[in-house]
Chain A
Amino acid sequence: MGIAHLLAIRGANRDTGKSLDRNAHEDDNMIILFLQRIVLGLLTLVFVSGIVFVAVEALPGDACTAFLGRMAQGTRLENCRRDFGIERPALTRYAEWSLGALQGDLGMSLKRNKPISDVIGTRLRNTLVLGLSAALIGVPIAIFLGIIAGLSRDRPPDLWVSTIAIFAMTIPEFVSATLLVLIFSVWLGWLPGIVTTPPNAPLVEFLSDIILPIISLALVMTAHILRMVRTSVIDVMESDYVQMAQLKGVPYWRMVFRHVLPNALLPTINLVALTIAWLLGGVIVIEVVFNYPGLGRLTIDAISDRDLALVQAIALVLAAVYIGLNLFADLLTLLVNPRLRAMRI
């Protein structure tokens, strides 16, 4: 279903001049909506880059005073500032930084004396693996449990699932992660409680290490999605057409699979992408708890080292991932939900 295909349909319909134009209208609209969303996403990213830069600028001192700390004086300070071009006006630096970021060059890390993109590269890979695995495992489980809970509303299965979900959702990630380590690593000894693999190692070596982090990370997200699916299923079960199907005598499971589920699962697509993006916040704490060499732990290290350039770059990368995932969710919802295609804006 590419854009070319859509354009071809439009062309064909225009030639016939018949009232098949309604499809053309929808497809036209969809392309416009797609483009609007993408442009909006890019604008937000620019906005965010501005905010991040301004926020770091607004902090007392600059990258050099922060990094050098008590030794920030005299020639050492001047040299540092000259090396990193901090004397130039803010606007120039912002332009240079953002243009560089577009090409993948995020500047130099003060502490490690390496280009930031190198430092972030493998960490980003590790964090993405962690996040995506958590999502791939958590989402199906959440949907499955949510459906069960919704269908057995207020009966024992629902009560058990919902209660556990509430616990998972409200307890801070570091608490549930710590509890998991206590149970599975300390008492049962099944899984490692700390990740010792170096950051640049090939992904295969992380496999046994990341099971607990994945579970901890997935907990909150799974709980949220589960509750949403449950609510959605309950709403659909109470709707008119399902009641009608029940009255008509449609067998229960056929009704569930053909009428209830497709409609109940529609709104979850948006939430799924949003929650995946929200994982980014939890990932920092989880990576610290398990010592996982990803972007989250890098953030803490960078902040402890007062490596402002690195922190700035990480903020931008994280925001870009978040915006990108949001965009993906938006576009996916547009594709999947036919009713939205006829929208005016």
Chain B
Amino acid sequence: MSDAAIFRQENVFVKLLNVLADMVSRPSGLVGLSLVGFHIFLAIVSPALVPYDFTAMDSQAILSGPSAEHWLGTDNLGRDILTRTMLGGQQALLVTSVATVIAIAWGGMLGVMLGLIGGWLENIVMRLVDAFLAIPYILFLLLIVSVIGLSLGVLIPTLAFFYGIPVVRMSRAATHDVVALDYITAARARGESRTTIVKKELLPNVLDVLLVEAAMRWSWMLLAFSSLSFLGFGVAPPTADWGLMIAGARSFMSYAPWAVLAPVVALSSLIIGINLSADALAKALGIDRAQKAPV
């Protein structure tokens, strides 16, 4: 189905199915969606599938290689790596997906509002946004987590706040693009109220950009989350988390590389999957993302 035809679909579900079908028809979309789907499935189902308890320490089998009992070997405390790898994505996926939704919600709404209202308010807020973008997030994330404490209730809002800031910029730009178009002026001339304009004209168009942005934000947040865990400021041990696992297994890399490789492959495959899906999604929605900014 052509891109223009996708836009004209009124029914959300039909549109969704069409977008998905388009994504799957591309190799990047197929691989990406499979990887993401696999990881989500794993995160939900793995507690029932794991062979061992992730905290169970077998002191007889410390740092043992892949074997019949431990398919991926054991770590330095004798815990089964396969189990911990399968469970390792749960926290990450939970935290980042919730935080991404919140980030897109608040960033998108603020950006659309600013784009519509304009004026001095818009200028001031955009200056603030630029100032915030100048500060390396990870510094603030670390600071906040270390002072307030290590918990999901801290991680989710903090991640959502910082990763929502670039979304403000994006949605404001998208709003500007849409507002300049004639059918907004026509709607105003018809006497439509502001809310109706936002709902019927603005949102559907800004939504496409926001969706792709959401996918990218998700992957950046996963990166940040696992970096935080790696540095010891994310989830706390003995929770099974890929970042934590890599940090712990690093010291034993020379004689137990499998302990590092398993979480590395898991984490990388998820992030690559999300990125590939985002690319395919952008192409399916007709958005040109060649100029993607690194933030």
* B2 located at the interface, meaning its Cβ lies under 8 Å from any Cβ of chain A in the complex: no
Q: In the bound complex, how far is the Cα of B232 from the Cα of A285, in angstroms?
A: 11
* A91 located at the interface, meaning its Cβ lies under 8 Å from any Cβ of chain B in the complex: no
Tell whether, in the assembled complex, residue A166 and residue B272 are in contact, meaning their CB atoms are under 8 Å apart: yes
Count of A interface residues, CB-CB < 8 Å: 53
B223-234 CB contact bits vs A (8 Å, 1 = yes)?
Answer: 100110011010
Known A172-B226, A178-B253, A278-B295; judge A48-B143 contact (CB<8 A): no
Q: In the bound complex, how far is the Cα of B294 from the Cα of A224, in angstroms?
A: 7
Dominant SS at the A interface?
Answer: helix
Among B65-73, B79-87, B104-112, B132-140, the stretch that binds chain A is B132-140
- Which residue on A lies nearest to B225, using beta carbons? A172
Q: Most chain-B CB neighbours within 10 Å: which of A48, A55, A166, A281? A: A281
Tell whether, in the assembled complex, residue A48 and residue B134 are in contact, meaning their CB atoms are under 8 Å apart: yes
Which A residues, 304 to 336, have Cβ-Cβ distances below 8 Å to chain B? Answer: 304, 306, 308, 311, 314-315, 318-319, 322-323, 326
* B64 located at the interface, meaning its Cβ lies under 8 Å from any Cβ of chain A in the complex: no
Known A231-B291, A306-B146; judge A47-B139 contact (CB<8 A): no
Contacts of A166 in B (CB 8 A): 272, 275
Tell whether, in the assembled complex, residue B227 and residue A178 are in contact, meaning their CB atoms are under 8 Å apart: no
Please tell me which one of the listed residues B128, B139, B246, B295 contacts residue A174 in the complex, with CB atoms under 8 A apart.
B246
B233 CB to nearest chain A CB (Å): 8
A329 CB to nearest chain B CB (Å): 13
Which B residues, 255 to 273, have Cβ-Cβ distances below 8 Å to chain A? Answer: 257, 260-261, 264, 267-268, 271-272
Total contacts A to B, CB within 8 angstroms? 128
Please tell me which one of the listed residues B135, B230, B243 contacts residue A52 in the complex, with CB atoms under 8 A apart.
B135
A272 CB to nearest chain B CB (Å): 11
Tell whether, in the assembled complex, residue A280 and residue B231 are in contact, meaning their CB atoms are under 8 Å apart: no
Please tell me which one of the listed residues A66, A274, A319 contacts residue B135 in the complex, with CB atoms under 8 A apart.
A319
Q: Most chain-B CB neighbours within 10 Å: which of A173, A174, A303? A: A174
A168 CB to nearest chain B CB (Å): 11
Contacts of A281 in B (CB 8 A): 136-138
A49-64 CB contact bits vs B (8 Å, 1 = yes)?
Answer: 0011001100111000
Contacts of A126 in B (CB 8 A): none
Contacts of B219 in A (CB 8 A): 170
* A237 located at the interface, meaning its Cβ lies under 8 Å from any Cβ of chain B in the complex: no
* B6 located at the interface, meaning its Cβ lies under 8 Å from any Cβ of chain A in the complex: no
Tell whether, in the assembled complex, residue A47 and residue B260 are in contact, meaning their CB atoms are under 8 Å apart: no
Tell whether, in the assembled complex, residue B135 and residue A315 are in contact, meaning their CB atoms are under 8 Å apart: yes
Contacts of A315 in B (CB 8 A): 135-136, 139-140, 143
- Which residue on A lies nearest to B233, using beta carbons? A303
Contacts of A175 in B (CB 8 A): 226, 246, 264, 267-268
B-binding residues in A (CB < 8 A): 43-44, 47-48, 51-52, 55-56, 59-61, 66, 166-167, 169-175, 178-179, 181-182, 186, 224, 228, 231, 271, 274-275, 278, 280-281, 284-285, 288-289, 299-300, 303-304, 306, 308, 311, 314-315, 318-319, 322-323, 326
A-binding residues in B (CB < 8 A): 127-128, 130-132, 134-140, 142-144, 146-148, 219, 223, 226-227, 230-231, 233, 243, 246-247, 250, 253-254, 257, 260-261, 264, 267-268, 271-272, 275, 290-291, 293-295
